[in-house]
Amino acid sequence: MSRQAEQAQQPGKVWLVGAGPGAADLLTLRAARLLAEADVVLHDALIGDDVLALAPQARLIAVGKRCGRHSTAQRFINQKIIHAARTHARVVRLKGGDPMLFGRAQEEMNALAAAGIEYEVVPGVTAASAASAQLKVSLTRRGIARSVALLTPRAGEGEHPSQALRANADTPTLALYMASHESMAIARELMSYGRGADTPVALVENASHPASREAFTTLQGLSEHTVGALLGCGDQAPEGPVLVMLGEVFRDEMQARTSSTSSESARCIQVSAA
């Protein structure tokens, strides 16, 4: 039976696939295979062309959101996924990082379940893992950090981001997603909850990309300077997503870098594929 004939009888299947932090060779083998087999790929705004090139036969539909820019509302994304599944056999919803971390995957899964459409989830490498690997700094370390909290200041209706910050202010290692626009206020708030002003902070823009920027500072420094300024962008906001990480695990690397330069400045690095 042809794919078209199968589709006329029943809806297709949807795979929520993690695209990882950006580098195409960090996708899982399953993700690459599903992209190669997909009829339609609905992808986030930050998915790179080299990743999308893994689905040359698929219809590509951009549905992602970016902070501070025009984007597609989540309810319309849900509708697009459902429509694609009703008209195509194999649909990939390609999400940056890992679908189950700050990707609103639950809303999409709920919508698919309500529509009676089968789906699976394929995990991806999240930005915190990619950034720590790039910096060569483990997020946990015996005797220093036995726990990590992944947070975002982006709050849903009826929520307040301060609740999450207050609850996790003492967590040894924090990784803050989608926080660059509010980083100064977040730093001041964490210090008001008792976090030390000299707590090391690591910033990584476009983790795993061929050209990625890194900067180190302290919580006090983050409270006084924008992420763009710390990364060497001046008054401009960084173009790529920035992960803000903090904790004692970063102190050795911060001291090593600051000892080799007279100023606290960003370093543009090249990340080569293995």
CATH code of 33's domain: 3.40.1010.10
Any idea which residues carry the catalytic annotation?
A: 44, 65, 178
Residue 173 and residue 158 share a domain: yes
Residue 142 and residue 84 share a domain: no
Q: What pLDDT is recorded for position 81?
A: 98
Residue 260 and residue 147 share a domain: yes
Q: Is the pLDDT of residue 149 over 80?
A: yes
Across 26-35, 52-61, 205-214, least confident range: 205-214
Q: Could you report the per-residue pLDDT of 109-143, keeping only the tens digit for each? A: 999 999 999 999 999 999 999 999 999 999 999 99
Q: What pLDDT is recorded for position 2?
A: 38
Q: Across residues 21-38, what is the average pLDDT?
A: 97
Q: What pLDDT is recorded for position 262?
A: 47
SS3 category, 259: coil
Which residue reads 């930050």 in tokens?
A: 46
Q: Is the pLDDT of residue 160 over 70?
A: no
Residue 187 contacts by C-beta under 8 Å, 6 or more apart in sequence?
201, 219, 220, 222, 223
Residue 150 and residue 113 share a domain: no
Q: What pLDDT is recorded for position 139?
A: 98
Residue 110 and residue 133 share a domain: no
Q: What pLDDT is recorded for position 159?
A: 62
- Other CB atoms within a 10 A radius of the CB of residue 27 amount to 22
Residue 153 contacts by C-beta under 8 Å, 6 or more apart in sequence?
161, 164, 165, 176, 178, 179, 182, 186
Buried-exposed string 241-260: b where 16+ CB fall within 10 A, e elsewhere: bbbbbbbebbbebbeebbee
Q: Could you report the per-residue pLDDT of 84-103, keeping only the tens digit for each? A: 999 999 999 999 999 999 99
Q: Which of 100, 122, 144 is the last residue in one of the domains?
A: 122
Range of the domain at 83: 3-122
Q: Report whether 243 contacts 203 (CB < 8 A).
A: yes
Residue 189 and residue 171 share a domain: yes
Residue 118 and residue 131 share a domain: no
211 or 166, greater pLDDT: 166
The C-alpha atoms of residue 69 and residue 51 are separated, in whole angstroms, by 22
Q: Could you report the per-residue pLDDT of 230-248, keeping only the tens digit for each? A: 999 887 888 899 999 999 9
Q: Report whether 213 contacts 238 (CB < 8 A).
A: yes
Q: Report whether 1 contacts 26 (CB < 8 A).
A: no
Residue 20 and residue 86 share a domain: yes
Q: What pLDDT is recorded for position 269?
A: 45
Task: With cut-offs at 50, 70 and 90, classify the pLDDT of residue 274.
Answer: very low
Residue 149 and residue 113 share a domain: no
Name the percent of the chain lying above pLDDT 90.
77
155 or 243, greater pLDDT: 243
Q: What pLDDT is recorded for position 233?
A: 85
Q: What pLDDT is recorded for position 259?
A: 78
Q: What pLDDT is recorded for position 235?
A: 79
Q: Which of 94, 122, 150 is the last residue in one of the domains?
A: 122
Q: Is the pLDDT of residue 72 over 90?
A: no
Q: What pLDDT is recorded for position 5?
A: 39
| Mean pLDDT of all residues belonging to the chain | 89
Task: With cut-offs at 50, 70 and 90, classify the pLDDT of residue 65.
Answer: low
Residue 161 and residue 69 share a domain: no
Q: How many domains does the chain have?
A: 2
Residue 231 and residue 96 share a domain: no
Give Cα separations from 32 to 27, 45, 144, 182 (angstroms). Answer: 7, 18, 37, 35
- Residue 107 tokens read as 């809303």
The C-alpha atoms of residue 50 and residue 27 are separated, in whole angstroms, by 11
DSSP string across 15-40: EEEE-BSS-GGGS-HHHHHHHHH-SE
Name the percent of the chain lying above pLDDT 70.
86
Could you tell me how far CA 183 lies from the centroid of its own chain? Answer: 16
Q: What pLDDT is recorded for position 3?
A: 54
Q: Which of 122, 139, 167 is the last residue in one of the domains?
A: 122
Q: What pLDDT is recorded for position 264?
A: 45
The C-alpha atoms of residue 208 and residue 132 are separated, in whole angstroms, by 10
Residue 98 and residue 25 share a domain: yes
CATH of the domain at 208: 3.30.950.10
* Closest residue by Cα to residue 39 from 93, 102, 77, 92: 92
Q: Is the pLDDT of residue 6 over 80?
A: no
